[in-house]
Amino acid sequence: MHPDVVVVGAGIIGAACAQALKARGLDVLVLDRHGPASGTSSAGEGNVLVSDKEPGPELDLALASRELWPDLGADAEWEEKGGLVVATTPEAAEPLKAFAAAQRAAGIDACELTPQEALSHEPHLNPDITAAVHYLQDAQLNPVKATKALLRGIRIINAEVSTTDGRSVTTSDGVISCGAVVNATGPWARNFGVNVLPRRGVVLVTTPIPGTIRHKVYDADYVGAVASGDADLQTSGVVESTQAGTVLIGSSRQRKGFDDTIESKVLKALARKAIALFPMLTDVPVMRAYGGFRPYAPDHLPIIGEDPRTPGLWHATGHEGAGVGLAPATGRLLAELLTGATPLVDPHPFRVDRPEVMV
Amino acid sequence: MVDSEPEAGGQFLRGRAKFEHRGVTHLKNTEAWLVEDRTLHLRGPKQLHFDALVIATGAYDRPLPFPGWDGPGVITAGAAQALAKQGVTLAERVIVAGTGPFLLPVATALLDLGATLVGVYEASSPTRWLRESKAVLANRHKIAELASYRKVLSHLETRTAVIAKHGDRVTVAKLDRHWRPVSHRTEHADLVCIGHGFLPRTDLVPNAKRTNDFLDVDERQQTSIPGVYAAGEVTGIGGADLAEAEGIIAGAAAAHQEPPARALEAVRKGRLFAQALARAHAIQPGWQTWLNPDTTVCRCEKVSLQDLSDATSMRELKLTSRVAMGRCQGRICARNAAELTGIPFDGQRRVIAVPIPLGELAALPEEPS
Ligand SMILES: Cc1cc2nc3c(=O)[nH]c(=O)nc-3n(C[C@H](O)[C@H](O)[C@H](O)COP(=O)(O)OP(=O)(O)OC[C@H]3O[C@@H](n4cnc5c(N)ncnc54)[C@H](O)[C@@H]3O)c2cc1C
Ligand SMILES: Cc1cc2nc3c(=O)[nH]c(=O)nc-3n(C[C@H](O)[C@H](O)[C@H](O)COP(=O)(O)OP(=O)(O)OC[C@H]3O[C@@H](n4cnc5c(N)ncnc54)[C@H](O)[C@@H]3O)c2cc1C
């Protein structure tokens, strides 16, 4: 066995890399210690968002991904549900409108709505909102099904990788030599030399109330929470339904290593913010809470490229809270760089050789 | 003492236990939903801060699926017993089916309420108990208990199971020792009560060590979490007397007292019985042949056998097929789905023990002081 490329990690990013490499004719082997989508990729809401990104390299990657997902995610409950971002205080209204205007200039479909119009889109929304923007490109899929769809026809072996030199990987079952190695181990990517850390997120799931909430609806303060580097708990209201009718409630961000205990203060903050958006949720029971660890780089940009210290070792990680949305373009970019083709977006901002990234 | 029921007594003594004890505050109709460090969160919301906690939340019946089990006229044996204890007449013609001695008191209760008992079907072979003489000799009182069910023993058929129900037509099969049907006949019944063993209710302590889903405890009933004790069916299934003895030990240990020697001895003997029970009535894989491709496995999300996808972990299985994702959160179906797919059962860590309205979460205090 001597595959052209070994991809370590069968999360959505590893799967997208493997798919793109295979599409370019390479022989790919994927290794994961627990199987497909067993890490962060099964812990998210599965949103493919452009709404939360300001103009810049991450938005470029997101827009490129948004083009690719409808084909790749067709079997993965792909739904173009649209996002509704709302301001809940008078002070938040103008910044939201300005943010949307800048996004529009960068090619995003961001439609300003009056509060009344927003209520006609989302009848249960708190009538006290002060501004709203409708993002038509925001979509959702089932990340586990999407991961499996990307991996179709690709060899996967359950094995843990301990080390790699870029030309081989040492696994729990022996050494596999190969042409190149892709580190797609998400929040565990630090084990292979890049500064990726876990940022905890918790999601609440209610009993089904089909048809009540139609879009992904979130408070405009979410964008600030995402960009923050603060270790303390940050929460903002993010509410949406799944196709099964359950309502998913986020979002929390907390740096506390790989500690996965559920804290009542997180549940409280999430519940309060969800009720602030949709008062009718007050009496709806939560039946489950779950969480995961977003893989983040200190400068909040994904890491996609070859490691200058270890030729043959490539990284595709650090997607933080947007890995599902960014997966297809990440895979494509990595495959293009690895095969010497013209990249679909400027790869420079994502290079490994960044001061915050090299450890 | 926190309990979700209006009266003390649990599954066995429900309504009959006259519990009153000076120094014990009994919070009735109160559900606990989360243990956070030394705080027990109750519905309300309300918090109790503890030095020691005893988990005695019992177990619930495991139903095995068969065509028609999700339709009208099929309930769990535990539910039937609870209703019977309230004096509710459930149906005219009833069948009690599954495995384990607890089918007998249920059948007795239904008979006492005037139902016609069509049959009591035990899937296992009684000869399995012949290998358990040590446990039986240590627990002779259990034989005496058996005698109190003589009214229903004449209806008992072993190596027999209900494998389908369509309307009031019930398919009753004779089984081989792997529980594969070898022959069958049709009976008529309005109600089938099923119980194929029990699953412990351990959601309050998702991180405590467990074996085969039951909480591990030391000789003082302490779990792997210091200061958290467990007693009764959360540690294993051995009947009400074992549960009570474990409770005596856990209570004493939690209060830093020496447990009475009698209770320790009762637990020693009771555990022999519990282990024998687990062996003699172990679920055999042949039940999986009772299902058709379109037989429901998960009732909440209407997932049938053919919908169970290829997966390597429970999480992957759940997120691709939606099995165990509904109201019961897999309490009823997750174990069955794991066995049907060959996926290792991971004990289903659920961090919220009972559903809780968002409004109550929003009303939690800032810090559990
Ligand atoms: C609560 C929450 C909500 C989210 N919501 C969204 C959302 O709506 N939209 C969105 O775009 N993103 C969302 N995200 C972020 C998204 O889930 C992640 O960015 C994405 O899943 C990262 O994928 P990955 O493949 O890099 O990592 P993972 O999915 O964690 O995959 C890494 C894999 O590597 C394997 N692995 C690790 N080390 C080794 C080793 N040594 N050997 C072998 N295998 C190994 C692991 O088993 C794992 O399967 C959310 C995250 C959280 C926590
Ligand atoms: C159908 C059936 C027939 C049986 N027949 C016999 C018999 O004839 N002889 C015999 O010896 N044994 C019998 N048993 C077994 C006997 O019922 C149990 O051994 C005994 O009840 C176990 O006691 P326990 O305290 O562990 O659990 P339980 O009696 O189940 O008590 C648990 C209590 O905890 C409460 N609770 C659970 N979760 C929460 C929560 N989150 N918050 C607050 N409260 C909660 C429950 O409401 C319940 O009141 C039978 C059991 C069944 C199901």
The pLDDT tens digits for B111-137 are: 999 999 999 999 999 888 888 888 888
Question: B-chain residues within 8 Å CB-CB of A281?
Answer: 358
Looking at residue B119, its amino acid is G
Q: Are A285 and A233 in contact (CB under 8 A)?
A: no
At residue A69, what is the residue type?
A: W
Nearest-neighbour CA in chain A from B357: distance (Å): 4
- Integer Cα distance of A50 and A41 in angstroms: 19
Confidence of residue A133 (pLDDT cuts 50, 70, 90): very high
> Which residues does residue A293 pair with via DSSP β-bridges, in sequence order?
A200
The residue ranges of DSSP E strands in A247-302, in sequence order, are 247-253, 285-296
Note the ligand closest to the C-alpha atom of A330: 1
Structure tokens at B359: 């409004």
CA-CA distances (angstroms) from residue B209 to B153, B226, B242, B276?
Answer: 39, 12, 21, 22
**Beta-carbon separation of A284 and B358 below 8 A:** yes
Inform me whether the pLDDT recorded for A163 exceeds 70. Answer: yes
pLDDT tens profile A85-119:
999 999 999 999 999 999 999 999 999 999 999 99
The pLDDT assigned to A229 comes to 66
DSSP per residue, A168-217: EEEETTEEEE-SEEEE--GGGGGGGTB--EEEEEEEEEEPP-TTS--SEE
Question: B232 C-alpha vs ligand 2 centroid, how far in Å?
Answer: 8
Across chain B, mean pLDDT equals 93
- B124-138 per-residue burial string, b: 16 or more CB within 10 A, e: under 16: bbeeebeebeebbeb
Mean pLDDT lowest among A44-48, B337-341, B346-350: B346-350
A290-312 pLDDT per residue, tens: 899 999 999 999 999 999 999 99
Q: Is the pLDDT of residue A151 over 80?
A: yes
Question: Among B268, B215, B275, B260, which residue's Cα sits nearest to residue B57?
Answer: B215
Higher pLDDT, B369 or B117: B117
B32 Cα nearest atom in ligand 2: 42
Dist. CA A6–CA A10, nearest whole Å? 11
Give residues (CB < 6 A) around ligand 2: B 2-5, 10-12, 31-32, 56-58, 61, 77-78, 81, 102, 105-106, 201, 232-233, 239-241, 243, 353-354
Q: Is the ipTM of this complex over 0.95?
A: no
Percent of chain B with pLDDT over 90: 76
H-only helix segments in chain A: 12-23, 57-72, 90-105, 115-121, 143-150, 222-227, 264-277, 323-339
Q: Which residues of chain B have a CB within 8 Å of the CB of A285?
A: 355-358
Residue B159: what pLDDT?
A: 97
Distance, CA of B294 to CA of A229 (rounded, Å): 50
Give the C-alpha separation, A140 to A78, whole Å: 6
Q: Does A281 sit within 8 Å of B358, measured CB to CB?
A: yes
pLDDT reported for residue A44: 83
For ligand 1, what atom is nearest to the CA of residue A162? Answer: 41
Q: How far is B29 from chain A (nearest CA, A)?
A: 17
* Distance between Cα B203 and ligand 2 center (Å): 16
Instruction: Output the pLDDT for position A227.
Output: 66
Tokens read off for B369: 């002081």
- What pLDDT does A267 receive? 96
Regarding the beta carbon of A198 and ligand 1, being less than 6 Å apart is answered no
A220-253 burial code (b ≥16 CB/10 A, e <16): bbbbebbeeeeeebbbbbbbbbbeeebbbbbbbb
Which ligand approaches the C-alpha of residue A250 most closely? 1
Using CA atoms, how far residue A306 sits from A21, A315, A346, B203, in Å, is 15, 6, 15, 45
B142-161, pLDDT tens digit by residue?
888 888 898 999 999 999 99
Best probe of the A interface among B303, B341, B361, by most A CBs < 10 A, is B361
pLDDT at residue B347, as a whole number: 67
Cα A159 to chain centroid distance, Å, stands at 24
Q: What is the pLDDT of residue B82?
A: 86
pLDDT of residue A1: 82
Tokens of A343: 């990249």
> What local confidence, expressed as pLDDT, does residue A277 receive?
96
Rg (CA), chain A: 20
First to last CA, chain B: 21
B89 has pLDDT over 90: no
Written as one string, the DSSP assignment of B64-81 is PP-TTTTSTTEEEHHHHH
Mean pLDDT of A316-320: 98
pLDDT of residue A322: 96
Cα–Cα distance list, B90 to A152, B79, B82, B113 (Å): 51, 11, 11, 9
pLDDT of residue A228: 67
Contact between A282 and B329 using a beta-carbon 8 Å cutoff: no
Res A80: pLDDT: 94
B329 Cβ under 8 Å from any chain A Cβ: yes
Contacts of A70 (CB under 8 A, 6+ apart): A78, A80
CB A48 within 8 A of CB A139: yes
Query: B242 CA distance to ligand 2 centroid (A)?
Result: 11
Residue B163 has pLDDT above 70, yes or no: yes
Q: Confirm if B308 and B318 have CB atoms less than 8 A apart.
A: no
Tokens of B89: 């007449």
Question: Which of A141, A264, A275, A290 is the mutation pick for testing B, counting most B CBs within 10 A?
Answer: A264
How many angstroms separate the CA atoms of B159 and B173, rounded? Answer: 8
Q: What is the pLDDT of residue B86?
A: 81
Distance separating alpha carbons of residues A47 and B219, to the nearest angstrom? 49
Q: Which helix (H) or strand (E) holds A123?
A: none
pLDDT digits (tens, 9 = 90+) for B7-56: 899 988 877 777 888 889 999 999 999 999 999 999 999 999 999 999 99
pLDDT classification of B348: cutoffs 50, 70, 90: low
CA proximity to B113, closest of B92, B134, B139, B144 = B92
Helix (H) or strand (E) run with residue A83 in it: strand A83-87
**Average model confidence (pLDDT) across chain A:** 94
Specify the range with the lowest mean pLDDT, choosing from A3-12, B246-255, B358-367.
Answer: B358-367
DSSP structure class, residue A266: H
Closest CA to A80 of A13, A16, A149, A140: A140
Interface of A with B (CB under 8 A): 34-38, 42, 142-145, 148, 158, 204, 206-208, 244, 246, 249, 261-265, 267-268, 270-272, 274-275, 281-290
DSSP letter assigned to residue B308: P
Average pLDDT over residues A35-62: 94
Structure tokens at B194: 């099923």
Check pLDDT > 70 for residue B292: yes
Ligand nearest to the CA of B331: 2
